[in-house]
């Protein structure tokens, strides 16, 4: 299979979820064997940050990269979209530090790029193959297991001990329709987490339109009124299913599918298209990127 890149430039504007800073991002075609790289155009030297597991710097609620002291935050959604669309080579220019959160999914990236398709290049695609199983675990019981396979095949299960969410599972492989089944799935959080994050000024770019909010425990009218005022939504309430009514779910397992979206993006940091059977349970950015680092090590990338 040959490498592929974009047909043209695509620009996206918004704000970073965690920094709240406005940002313009332009995704551009790239020569063969470039891989995916980020360029900070707001810095005179236009430093390059490669999308590599060895450059992962932070994994608290998103995946951040840092190379030669220059960082880029929240890279997982755009990496997921490019992987789901089969893009080998792309240059991602940012005029600030954080990728725009958009609606909390990869939908806009995937729809716009997918509508035009991609361009075949001359070089062969780089598939990442492993010789023996890799498993990363943590004390919570979460794990990512990666086993040799002739093609990519991903399964994930999430379990937050939540009566509202329940246990959700999702599947993806390259023959799946990424644009329809994975890309629209938005990030999610619990109401009590949003309260804490707002109180500590940790989601400066968050609003009520870019996340599914799960209300696991009863909340008071005073708490709800604070949210109505904060997000300027006087009709905000809790649905019978236990979600804020700010947005409607695209799928019953949208939260599980979003975790799949993240997993695809994080594992792209291993340096190419992974041929493996991936089984993830309760995984997040920390364990996902640790798995990507373990793959790099297994195939001899330093």
Cβ atoms within 10 A of the Cβ of 209, count?
A: 14
The residues annotated as belonging to the active site are: 285
pLDDT tens sequence across 105-114: 999 999 999 9
Q: Is 32 domain-assigned?
A: yes
Q: Is 199 domain-assigned?
A: no
Rounded to whole angstroms, how far apart are CA atoms 212 and 57? Answer: 26
How far is Cα of residue 6 from the mean position of the Cα atoms in its chain?
20
Order of strands across the sheet with 22-29? 10-15, 22-29, 90-94, 36-40, 48-50
* Number of structural domains found in the chain: 1
Q: Is 220 domain-assigned?
A: no
Q: How confident is the model at residue 204 (pLDDT cuts 50, 70, 90)?
A: low
How far is Cα of residue 44 from the mean position of the Cα atoms in its chain?
28
Q: Is 222 domain-assigned?
A: no
Check if the beta carbon of residue 285 is closer than 8 Å to that of residue 197.
no
The pLDDT, as a whole number, for residue 203 is 60
Q: Is 265 domain-assigned?
A: no
Q: Is 89 domain-assigned?
A: yes
Lowest mean pLDDT among 182-186, 207-211, 268-272, 287-291: 207-211
pLDDT tens sequence across 216-253: 999 999 888 988 887 888 999 999 999 999 889 999 99
Rounded to whole angstroms, how far apart are CA atoms 267 and 293? Answer: 9
Q: Which residue range(s) make up the domain with 83? A: 2-125
pLDDT tens sequence across 83-99: 999 999 999 999 999 99
pLDDT tens sequence across 43-60: 999 999 999 999 999 998
- In this prediction the pTM is 0.95
Check if the beta carbon of residue 38 is closer than 8 Å to that of residue 72.
yes
Give the CATH number for residue 39.
3.30.230.20
Q: Is 256 domain-assigned?
A: no
């Amino acid at each position: 299979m040959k490498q592929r890149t974009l047909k043209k430039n695509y620009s996206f504007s918004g704000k970073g979820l965690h920094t709240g800073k406005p940002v313009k991002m332009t995704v551009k075609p790239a020569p063969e064997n470039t891989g995916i790289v980020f360029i900070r155009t707001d810095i005179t030297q236009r430093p390059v940050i490669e999308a590599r597991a060895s450059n992962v710097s932070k994994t608290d609620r998103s995946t951040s990269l840092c190379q030669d002291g220059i960082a880029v935050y929240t890279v997982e959604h755009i990496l997921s979209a490019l992987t789901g669309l089969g893009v080998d080579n792309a240059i991602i220019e940012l005029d600030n530090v954080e990728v725009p959160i958009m609606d909390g999914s990869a939908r806009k990236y995937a729809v716009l790029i997918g509508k035009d398709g991609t361009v075949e290049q001359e070089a062969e695609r780089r598939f990442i193959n492993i010789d023996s199983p890799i498993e990363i675990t943590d004390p919570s019981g979460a794990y990512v297991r990666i086993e040799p396979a002739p093609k990519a095949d991903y399964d994930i299960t999430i379990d937050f001990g939540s009566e509202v969410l329940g246990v959700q599972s999702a599947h993806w492989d390259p023959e799946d329709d990424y644009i329809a089944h994975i890309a629209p799935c938005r990030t999610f959080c619990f109401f009590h987490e949003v309260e804490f994050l707002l109180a500590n000024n940790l989601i400066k770019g968050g609003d009520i339109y870019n996340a599914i909010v799960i209300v696991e425990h009863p909340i008071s009218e005073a708490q709800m009124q604070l949210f109505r005022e904060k997000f300027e939504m006087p009709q905000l309430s809790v649905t019978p299913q236990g979600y804020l009514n700010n947005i409607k779910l695209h799928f019953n397992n949208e939260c599980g599918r979003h975790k799949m979206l993240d997993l695809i993006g994080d594992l792209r940091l291993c340096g190419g298209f992974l041929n493996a059977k991936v089984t993830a349970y309760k995984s997040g950015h920390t364990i996902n990127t640790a798995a990507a680092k373990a793959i790099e090590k297994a195939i001899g990338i330093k």
